[in-house]
Structures are given as structure tokens and as C-alpha cells.
């Protein structure tokens, strides 16, 4: 009898974590490696947020918290949704988790039965289908390719919905593509969802504040109030506030769902770290002045990376509306050979050969459900990005028929 659970046969390890680990190992061996696989800002957590955490420690805020979060943070979350998204939630309709991952996981654990389907646009964040599988559901992938700027069309969404569909999982701006949906594009999707009352919406808004140019962020329940009673709106402090390691995610939604998620979390981890919660209170309630400056820096990096990649032989790189990723296609390079004679047959071959030849670590698109592409995180300095893109240009130019 096998000791490990059968469900593990349906789950793959995180490709993004694997790439970062490989880059660290090569660095430890003395190789000059530029890692562009990590999905976290390179900025430090703002001083006012760190000070709030220190104050919380000094006040003795070091005990267990309520499972769903301290009242002060749940109040701040409700105010944030009203202030920034025009969504009315009571603090009781909110929940705090140990990162956005736990929020998603608990929502699926609370709602999925065997055979229930979750629609996931591809490319998708690597953890989405694995979470669905662990919780007994069936991921249903719908391609949103480069020809639609990695955005799902309403026609494709309509076709994917079946009587077994329980959730539509929506992420804008997107990890891995950076694509973000305008209000009109989002309204076209919500119009479809309004025709299917059994389908709930789980929206991952983690990159909300990282949008560029004159793009205006919107979220499904804001665009279509008719979806309010079947939408879980998830967010967190990781990206906009450079707080990845603090591990605070949050969500708001219908009270019965929040109560079910609270029950699961109560048997799983209980409340999130007390100090991190107090830091998150300051993040949401305190000054937001640093966000536009960080956004400006990210936008300049995006423009640099998109320009340099589009100058590389055989790459096509759309300019995304948000997040801090680009998702170039290397389709024109499939079938080419490296100077050592190895044939590039897949995007996995491409990223492996790139790492070995030039020391640039990126993540293969097939890990996100759509290739032949690769994901670059530009959450690092312009100097490193320029160096990395020059190496990518050199690598692409070295490939021969």
C-alpha cells in the first residue's frame, strides 16, 4: 500500500520556485547568474509599515489573533474596498489569511466537490490548477493567447461554462502575462457570467496597484454589481506594499462563504501572524504616497525590457498593462540549434539552454499553461535588466537553422 496520498499524483511542484532554486544553486557554484524568475518587488517594505510592526511588538501584540483577523485589519480591509473599488463590505464579510495562496486554497476547500469545474484562463499562475486539484476539483483551461494580448474573450468563456462549472478564476493584472482587462473588456466577461447564475467568480486582484500609463483598474463585482452575491474578491499587501515575506492576504465576499473559510482556517493555521497583521493595518490605512513612485519605476523597467526583447532575433514581446512580468513568445526559435548542436524543441529547452549559455534564469511558459513562451519578472534593477536582455539577445542570435 502506498504511503503518500493519491492526490499528489495530480500535483506538480511550483516551476517558479524551482527556477529560483536552480539559479541559487548555479550562483553558489560560482556562475554569474541573473535571476528573473521571482515574483516579488525588489523594493524594501516602507518605513512606516515596519515601524507599525515594531510598535506592535513593543505593545505586546504577540498573542493568538481571531482566525479571520484582528478587528482593526478587517475594518481597514472593508474601508479599502469601499475607497478604492466602490465595494460595500462589512468587516464580518472579510477574512485575513497567510498570504493570498491561503485565501484561494480555503475558498476551494470550502466549496469544491469531486467533479466540480473551475475555469482558469491560460496562461495562469502556476498554483491555480494545483490548488483546484488538491481540493478535488477539475481545472478547465481556456486559452487566452498572444493574438488577444493574453486576454480571455467572452466567446471563449461562454464555451467553457458547463453545468459542472462552480468557479471562474480571474486574475487581472495577470501573473504571468501582465495583461489587464479594461472596464469594457471586463464588462463583456461579466455579461456572460450574468447568464449563468450557478457560476461564482474568484478574482485575484493582487497586482491591482501596478498598472501603467492611463490604465484604470476595475474588479468584477465593481463592474457588474449583479455578481456581488457570488464573487470572492481577493487581494493582499505583498506586491503593492513590498511585503511578500509578511504573508498577509485578504478577501471579502458573501458571509456564508467567509464563515466556511473561517472554519477551515480554524482547523488549519488559525489566525495569521499578529505582527504582520498590524503592519498590514498601517499599509492599508497609512500613506500611499510611495505607490505612484514604485509604479513609475516599474513602468520604466517594463518599457526597457519590452524594447530590448523585441530587438532580439525570433522573440515577440507584447507590452503588458500591469504587474511586473512580460511573457514573450519564442515560437520563431523552435527548431533552431544552439552552437553546441542541441535542438530547441520546446520552451523548456529554450530556458534551459539560455540559463546554461548566458546565466539568465527565466520561467518556461508551459509551466503557466501556454507556450512556447517564457516569463520574465522585471522586479529588479534597470542595470541588471539591461545586462540580462543583452544576454538574451546574444543567445537568440547564436541559434542557427
Residue 257 pLDDT class (50, 70, 90 cuts): very high
258 and 154 within one domain: yes
24 and 91 within one domain: no
The domain total for the chain is 2
**Mean pLDDT (whole number) for 69-82:** 98
Helix (H, G, I), strand (E, B) or coil at 197: coil
pLDDT of residue 39: 85
Mean of all residue pLDDT scores within the chain: 96
362 and 238 within one domain: no
195 and 216 within one domain: yes
Q: Give, as one character, the DSSP assignment of residue 365.
A: G
97 and 187 within one domain: yes
pLDDT tens-place string over residues 326-349: 999 999 999 999 998 999 999 999
Task: Calculate Rg over the CA atoms of the chain.
Answer: 21
Answer whether residue 54 is part of any domain. no
Helix (H, G, I), strand (E, B) or coil at 400: strand
Domain's final residue, options 285, 314, 345: 285
Q: Lowest-pLDDT range, 29-33, 42-46, 273-277?
A: 29-33
Domain's final residue, options 219, 252, 285: 285
Domain's final residue, options 285, 313, 348: 285
**Mean pLDDT (whole number) for 66-71:** 98
pLDDT of residue 129: 96
Answer whether residue 53 is part of any domain. no
pLDDT tens-place string over residues 123-154: 999 999 999 999 999 999 999 999 999 999 99
Answer whether residue 237 is part of any domain. yes
Calculate the alpha carbon distances from 157 to 121, 122, 152, 153, 322 in Å. 9, 12, 7, 6, 22
Q: Assign residue 34 the CATH number of its domain.
A: 3.90.1150.10
Answer whether residue 368 is part of any domain. yes
Cα–Cα distance measured from residue 368 to residue 176, given in angstroms and rounded to the nearest whole number: 7
304 and 354 within one domain: yes
pLDDT tens-place string over residues 297-324: 999 999 999 999 999 999 999 999 999 9
Strand order in the sheet with 249-252: 94-97, 249-252, 231-236, 200-204, 165-171, 117-122, 138-143
- Which residues of 146-303 form beta strands (DSSP E)? 165-171, 200-204, 231-236, 249-252
Cα–Cα distance measured from residue 29 to residue 176, given in angstroms and rounded to the nearest whole number: 29
Q: Assign residue 69 the CATH number of its domain.
A: 3.40.640.10
Answer whether residue 52 is part of any domain. no
pLDDT tens-place string over residues 364-390: 999 999 999 999 999 999 999 999 999
CA max distance for the chain = 67
pLDDT of residue 124: 98
pLDDT of residue 316: 98
Range of the domain at 195: 64-285
pLDDT of residue 24: 83
35 and 138 within one domain: no
157 and 72 within one domain: yes
Q: Which three cell numbers stand for residue 133?
A: 486539484
Looking at the chain, the whole-number percentage of residues with pLDDT higher than 90 is 91
300 and 269 within one domain: no
pLDDT of residue 373: 98
Q: Give, as one character, the DSSP assignment of residue 45.
A: P
pLDDT tens-place string over residues 186-210: 999 999 999 999 999 999 999 999 9
How many secondary structure helices (H) and strands (E) does the chain include? 13, 12
pLDDT at 18 exceeding the cut of 80 = no
253 and 331 within one domain: no
Answer whether residue 50 is part of any domain. no
194 and 343 within one domain: no
Answer whether residue 142 is part of any domain. yes
210 and 93 within one domain: yes
pLDDT of residue 351: 94
Q: Which three cell numbers stand for residue 114?
A: 469531486
pLDDT of residue 168: 98
Q: How many residues does the chain have?
A: 401
Q: Is the dihedral of CA 295, 301, 306, 307 positive or negative?
A: positive
Q: Which three cell numbers stand for residue 202?
A: 474568484
Cα–Cα distance measured from residue 89 to residue 91, given in angstroms and rounded to the nearest whole number: 6
**Cβ pair 90, 301 in contact under 8 A:** no
Cα–Cα distance measured from residue 31 to residue 90, given in angstroms and rounded to the nearest whole number: 52
pLDDT at 16 exceeding the cut of 80 = no
Residue 325 pLDDT class (50, 70, 90 cuts): very high
Answer whether residue 56 is part of any domain. no
| Residue (of 34, 41, 52, 36) closest to 293 by Cα position | 41
**Cβ pair 41, 325 in contact under 8 A:** no
Looking at the chain, the whole-number percentage of residues with pLDDT higher than 70 is 100
Helix (H, G, I), strand (E, B) or coil at 59: coil
pLDDT at 7 exceeding the cut of 90 = no
* Pair type for strands 374-377 and 325-326: antiparallel
pLDDT of residue 209: 98
Cα–Cα distance measured from residue 37 to residue 17, given in angstroms and rounded to the nearest whole number: 8
pLDDT of residue 305: 98
The helix (H) or strand (E) run that includes residue 139 is strand 138-143
Amino acid at each position: 500500500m502506498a504511503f503518500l496520498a493519491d492526490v499528489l499524483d495530480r500535483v506538480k511542484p511550483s516551476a517558479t520556485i524551482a527556477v529560483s532554486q536552480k539559479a541559487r544553486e548555479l550562483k553558489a557554484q560560482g556562475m554569474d547568474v541573473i535571476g528573473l524568475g521571482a515574483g516579488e518587488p525588489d523594493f524594501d517594505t516602507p518605513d512606516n509599515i515596519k515601524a507599525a510592526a515594531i510598535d506592535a511588538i513593543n505593545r505586546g501584540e504577540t498573542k493568538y489573533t481571531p482566525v479571520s483577523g484582528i478587528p482593526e485589519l478587517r475594518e481597514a480591509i472593508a474601508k479599502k474596498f469601499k475607497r478604492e473599488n466602490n465595494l460595500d463590505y462589512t468587516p464580518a464579510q472579510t477574512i485575513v489569511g497567510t498570504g493570498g495562496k491561503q485565501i484561494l486554497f480555503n475558498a476551494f476547500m470550502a466549496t469544491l466537490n469531486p467533479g466540480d469545474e473551475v475555469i482558469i484562463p491560460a496562461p495562469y499562475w502556476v498554483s491555480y490548477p494545483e490548488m483546484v486539484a488538491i481540493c478535488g476539483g477539475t481545472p478547465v483551461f481556456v486559452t487566452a493567447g498572444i493574438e488577444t494580448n493574453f486576454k480571455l474573450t467572452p466567446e471563449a468563456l461562454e464555451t467553457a461554462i458547463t453545468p459542472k462549472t462552480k468557479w471562474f478564476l480571474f486574475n487581472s493584472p495577470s501573473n504571468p502575462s501582465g495583461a489587464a482587462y479594461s472596464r469594457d473588456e471586463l464588462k463583456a466577461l461579466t455579461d456572460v457570467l450574468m447568464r449563468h447564475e450557478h457560476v461564482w467568480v474568484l478574482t485575484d486582484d493582487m497586482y491591482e496597484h501596478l498598472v501603467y500609463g492611463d490604465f484604470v483598474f476595475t474588479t468584477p463585482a465593481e463592474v457588474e454589481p449583479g455578481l456581488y452575491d457570488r464573487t470572492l474578491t481577493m487581494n493582499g499587501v505583498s506586491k503593492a506594499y513590498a511585503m511578500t515575506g509578511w504573508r498577509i492576504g485578504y478577501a471579502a465576499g458573501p458571509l456564508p462563504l467567509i464563515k466556511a473559510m473561517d472554519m477551515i482556517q480554524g482547523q488549519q493555521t488559525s489566525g495569521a501572524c499578529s505582527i504582520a497583521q498590524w503592519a498590514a493595518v498601517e499599509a492599508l490605512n497609512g500613506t500611499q504616497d510611495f505607490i505612484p513612485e514604485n509604479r513609475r519605476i516599474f513602468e520604466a523597467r517594463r518599457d526597457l525590457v519590452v524594447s530590448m526583447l523585441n530587438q532580439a532575433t525570433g522573440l515577440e514581446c507584447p507590452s503588458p498593462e500591469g504587474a511586473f512580468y512580460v511573457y514573450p513568445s519564442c515560437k520563431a526559435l523552435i527548431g533552431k540549434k544552439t552552437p553546441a548542436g542541441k535542438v530547441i524543441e520546446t520552451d523548456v529547452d529554450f530556458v534551459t539552454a539560455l540559463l546554461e549559455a548566458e546565466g539568465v534564469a527565466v520561467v518556461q511558459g508551459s509551466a503557466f499553461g501556454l507556450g512556447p513562451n517564457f516569463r520574465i519578472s522585471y522586479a529588479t534593477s534597470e542595470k541588471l535588466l539591461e545586462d540580462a536582455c543583452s544576454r538574451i539577445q546574444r543567445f537568440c542570435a547564436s541559434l542557427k537553422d
